[in-house]
Structure 1
Amino acid sequence: MDSTLMKGLRVLETLARSDEPRGVSELARELELTRSNVHRTLQTLAAAGYARQGAAGTYECTLKLFELASSVMERVDVKRCAEPHMRRLAELTQETVHLSMLSGAEVVYLDKIESPQPVRAYSSIGGRAPAHCVASGKALLAEVSDAALAEMFGPDLPQWTDRTIRTREKLVTELATVRESGYAVNHGEWRSSVGGVAAVIVNAAGRAEASIGVSGPIERVEPKSDDAYRDAVIEAARAISQEMGCAAYPPPRASRS
């Protein structure tokens, strides 16, 4: 492993996720690197066009990262197929709609449509969430083999709220229910005030491609999670899957090993 490259990527990722320009000393403390190491890395990133130096010696990312990400996103057909169905789901539920993909033990939000309501679930495109805590993540994890789940998670799972699933054993049990019902629910497991409902999107080969779901204040979402929202989300996932070439939704389930 190239340690210099890894350090550089850590600096770039931290800078990209920062809400404001960052100073060399501040980044060095946060990343537990030497000030000279961080300074050299930032100078290299600036020379390559990924960062720029601002006032008082602080640094921020340029749009070059966005340009690269946009090129990747253009190759993700699910985003194009999902867009009209996301809008229809948002209009029907009046809640925030997410399109998500699995990335290790987390989900990444590929796209979203914000709820028009003043009190709503807040998130950002490109943001991440622990997959075992959110409906979009559980919908995708339900398609992962038990062996792969064991590689992702230890026996005890990270806790976020009192309602977070606490063990891999309980997660496996819930994922079996998700496969049986065709949808997943978040009962305030990542943010205690936010609930959600999601279903998996599959491609022409019958493999999980992404998930689509609604999220919002738990007092609005939870009462509808087993009827109106469930049906709307499953129908959206089915329509997107069919556009991606899926002949039968949901597809036949593969072996869990």
Structure 2
Amino acid sequence: MNNTLFKGLQILEMLAYSSQPMRLTDIANNLSLVKSGTHRLLQALIESRYVVQDKQSGKYSTSCKLIELGSAVLPHLALKQQAEGIMQQLMHETAESVHLSIQNQHDVVYLHKVDGPAPIPFYTHIGGRVPLYCVATGKALLAYKNDFFIEKIKQNLNPRTSNTIINATQLEIELKEIKKRGYSINKGELKEEVYGVAAPIIDKKGNIIAAIGLSGHSERFTTKTINKYAGLLIQAAQSITGLPNEHDQSANLQRLILSW
């Protein structure tokens, strides 16, 4: 880890656990840091709104930004815990890798992953990010974004493979289809030999909070297999948030077959 970053995190952690604001000298002494360097790090933390300094006493304490970060992280941790068992079950049932993804700006971020017995090397990793428009979980999320957001994405379509959708009209048509049928497909759009299927995860307020998907070698993702996986993923997405089936599952599966 970068030494300066490490020292800054030490300071932040000390202040977070301190029961009262601390003086510069005490912070430096407790962490065996040089006073001048500690002051510079504190100023950087103040500028980034992680630390505040009392004007009268000159003492330092953490700001509410840590609470904001914690509030942002907690739902993701809860989602990961809720999804863990379902993802393991999907992997055992399909023998493919399972992804749990969220949207961050114009990218999809892999919140969790359960590798199947034959994963694609270096395809994805937890914490990794790729453009929304070129993977199944990303497209499942993108389909439910507002028109303004989608227009922004359509202006920056760059090919990752020869299969990547870089035509704005084609992408728009596909996103409408995804929203209509309830699942998305990636046909080698990030890595040519990798196919994927994904479904959006909807919370009890009707918000799209994440997506769950299966990926593996294109040879294993036949039309029949994709239909089966789509049904499993729709069920899995509903199970994660405990939502009842809004549509009869047999009707869903019938639509999956007819869409091919």
- State whether residues 141 and 211 of structure 2, in contact with CA within 8 Å, keep that contact through their aligned partners in structure 1: yes
Q: Which has the higher contact order (CA 8 A, sep 6+)?
A: 1
Q: Following the alignment from structure 2 to structure 1, what is the Cα–Cα distance between the partners of residues 98 and 237?
A: 12
For residues 52-71 of structure 1, the aligned pairs below 5 Å read none
Q: Following the alignment from structure 2 to structure 1, what is the Cα–Cα distance between the partners of residues 191 and 227?
A: 22
Q: Following the alignment from structure 1 to structure 2, what is the Cα–Cα distance between the partners of residues 248 and 223?
A: 24
1:112 aligned partner, one-letter code = K
State the partner residue of 2:109. 108
TM-score (norm 2): 0.66
State the partner residue of 1:85. 86
1:99 is displaced (CA, Å) by 0.2
TM-score (norm 1): 0.66
Q: Which runs of 5+ in 1 are unaligned?
A: 1-14, 16-41, 51-67, 251-257
Q: Following the alignment from structure 1 to structure 2, what is the Cα–Cα distance between the partners of residues 131 and 118?
A: 21
State the partner residue of 2:170. 170
1:175 is displaced (CA, Å) by 0.6
State the partner residue of 2:203. 203
Q: Following the alignment from structure 2 to structure 1, what is the Cα–Cα distance between the partners of residues 151 and 207?
A: 20
1:213 aligned partner, one-letter code = G
SS across alignment from 1:219: helix
Q: 1:232 to 1:150 in 2, by over 3 A?
A: same
Q: 1:249 to 1:212 in 2, by over 3 A?
A: farther
Q: Which of the two has greater helix per residue?
A: 2
1:122 is displaced (CA, Å) by 3.4
Q: Following the alignment from structure 2 to structure 1, what is the Cα–Cα distance between the partners of residues 70 and 114?
A: 18
1:120 is displaced (CA, Å) by 6.3
The sequence identity of aligned pairs, in percent, is 37
State the partner residue of 2:218. 218
| 1:45 matched to 2:5 | yes
Q: 1:47 to 1:120 in 2, by over 3 A?
A: closer
Q: Following the alignment from structure 1 to structure 2, what is the Cα–Cα distance between the partners of residues 160 and 117?
A: 23
The number of residues matched between the two structures is 189
- State whether residues 141 and 208 of structure 2, in contact with CA within 8 Å, keep that contact through their aligned partners in structure 1: yes
State the partner residue of 2:29. none
- State whether residues 238 and 244 of structure 2, in contact with CA within 8 Å, keep that contact through their aligned partners in structure 1: no
Q: Following the alignment from structure 1 to structure 2, what is the Cα–Cα distance between the partners of residues 235 and 212?
A: 10
User: Which of the pair has more CA radius of gyration?
Assistant: 2
Q: Following the alignment from structure 2 to structure 1, what is the Cα–Cα distance between the partners of residues 89 and 70?
A: 24
1:153 is displaced (CA, Å) by 3.5
